[in-house]
Amino acid sequence: MSVVEIALTAKQLADAYSQMSKEERRSFLRSVFDQPAHQQAALELLIEAQAALKRKFPPSKQRLLDRLLSKNSEGKLRSSEQKQLERLMAEYGEGLIEKARAKYTLKLAQQATDLDS
């Protein structure tokens, strides 16, 4: 018998998981978490997700962002400040995306816990 290996992204796996029945989810989680390596990876993922939710945009950067946004709305932003604003907005947006992923990960973990109850 040959073994077929399937590689899925985290989103693909989450999408597939959300479409499974309650019994399929139980079976899936048992098969995944019966492996010690998977248990450790899951624990690390949950720890990282919790840490991501605690991260805050540094107050100094938030003040600078607020000042640049204010100047921008007044039409008084220089080109160097515009570039700085774009960098800060990108960094802020990346943080929001990271937090959204973390919330999604923790929600899936909670659903998995609920299935065991």
Contact 109, 46 (CB under 8 A): yes
pLDDT of 67-86, one tens digit each? 999 999 999 999 999 999 99
pLDDT of residue 106: 84
Under the banding of pLDDT at 50, 70 and 90, the label for residue 48 is confident
Residue 82 within a domain: yes
Residue 53 within a domain: yes
Most confident of 6-10, 40-44, 56-60, 103-107: 56-60
Domain of 94, in residue numbers: 10-116
Residue 5 within a domain: no
Residue 3 within a domain: no
Across residues 48-76, what is the average pLDDT?
Answer: 94
Return d(Cα 99, Cα 24) in angstroms, integer. 28
Across residues 57-70, what is the average pLDDT?
Answer: 96
Lookup: tokens for 30 = 């048992």
Structurally, the chain folds into a number of domains equal to: 1
Residue 4 within a domain: no
Closest CA to 45 of 105, 113, 107, 104: 105
pLDDT of residue 68: 97
Residue 72 within a domain: yes
pLDDT higher at 59 or 28: 59
Across residues 94-111, what is the average pLDDT?
Answer: 86
